[in-house]
Amino acid sequence: MNKNPSIDLLKGVLMLLVMAGHVMEITGGYDLALWVGSGFRMPLMIGISGYLLNVTRTRSDSIQRLVSRYGRRMLLPWLFAGMVYMIASGAALRWTLPFDLLFRPPFHLWYVPTLFFLIMLTRLMPFSPLVLLAAGTPVSLSIMYGFGLDHGPLGDGLLSPDSRFLRYPVYFFFGMLMAERRVSRRYLPIAGAVALLGLLWWSGLYHGHDPLAFVPARLLMCLGLIALLPTLSALRLHFAPVNAIGRDSLFFYLWHPLVMGVIVMTGAGAAATLALSILLLAAACRLTARGALLPLLFGSAPQGGRVGTPPATAPLPA
């Protein structure tokens, strides 16, 4: 799939929504807007990654080459960020730390290993997106209903993974299916109506206590939005500042909590924290995009590789 400005724009918007949500959490705010955003941000990110995945290349490359490519672009920055956050939080050094970081990542660091796990599943299970979706949906539903939508490990063992490893395949494989088959224009109103119905249902559950309703409401909202990705791609929308954040979504994703935490310590309010974080991250992203080592450590896209780099090479978080 060729680089598409509309998808970069959506990734940038989602990244800004993630940052806004985390600012509200850090500063103690919690309202309907945060509830709604938390319902679709991460599933839609996963769906975009499945939509952008170059399935043919993923399955034709050797495992060594696949791991090397994603290791350089995604896993090494994630590992470096994980070490920084662990040190900053004062986490005790234990022999189980590598297993905890990989299978039960702290803070926001769960996204990269979950995404890599889904990419490797696609590589190791050479079935069509429809078959993968049919196989992954029962797994996702069983985790959602069995463990709820809260985060946490699936068990107490050393290799017990975070629940999100098995909760998100339905969104990832559905994104792959939309890239392969798309949605006929005559069905677009239905997809939009489904997304709107799910959004209204999810919004109405803000003060609800029925866990059985959370799952279908979120599924309708998120799958409806993912079904609209081909239509969004065809619009070719572009807004340079937000597109830039979308292209460097990995960098913003990895480092925004650290920057926000430092700013909050100065006593800045929520709006000031968000604005300053965006500006500082944008500047830091440009500084760390130079040379060969800094992009590997920080996850910023190298300046020489921004133009013409297919997003399918590494479907990064928004």
**Residue range 274-313, pLDDT digits in tens:** 999 999 999 999 999 998 899 999 999 876 544 333 333 4
222: which 2 tokens? 């998120």
CA atoms of 51 and 315, how far apart (whole Å): 9
Specify the pLDDT at position 3: 73
What is the pTM assigned to this prediction? Answer: 0.91
Indicate the SS3 state at residue 67.
Answer: helix
Percent of the chain with pLDDT over 70: 94
Q: Tokens 């799958």, residue?
A: 223
pLDDT at 144 over 80: yes
CA atoms of 60 and 9, how far apart (whole Å): 29
181 pLDDT band, cuts 50/70/90, is confident
pLDDT at 317 over 70: no
CA atoms of 259 and 78, how far apart (whole Å): 16
Least confident of 120-134, 181-195, 283-297: 181-195
168 pLDDT band, cuts 50/70/90, is very high
Contact 82, 105 (CB under 8 A): yes
31: which 2 tokens? 């309202």
33 pLDDT band, cuts 50/70/90, is confident
CA atoms of 123 and 58, how far apart (whole Å): 6
The stretch 147-159 carries a mean pLDDT of 88
Specify the pLDDT at position 75: 96
The stretch 246-258 carries a mean pLDDT of 96
315 pLDDT band, cuts 50/70/90, is low
pLDDT at 241 over 60: yes
pLDDT at 155 over 80: yes
DSSP alpha helix (H) spans, 182-236 = 188-204, 211-227, 229-235
Average pLDDT taken over every residue of the chain: 90
Specify the pLDDT at position 185: 82
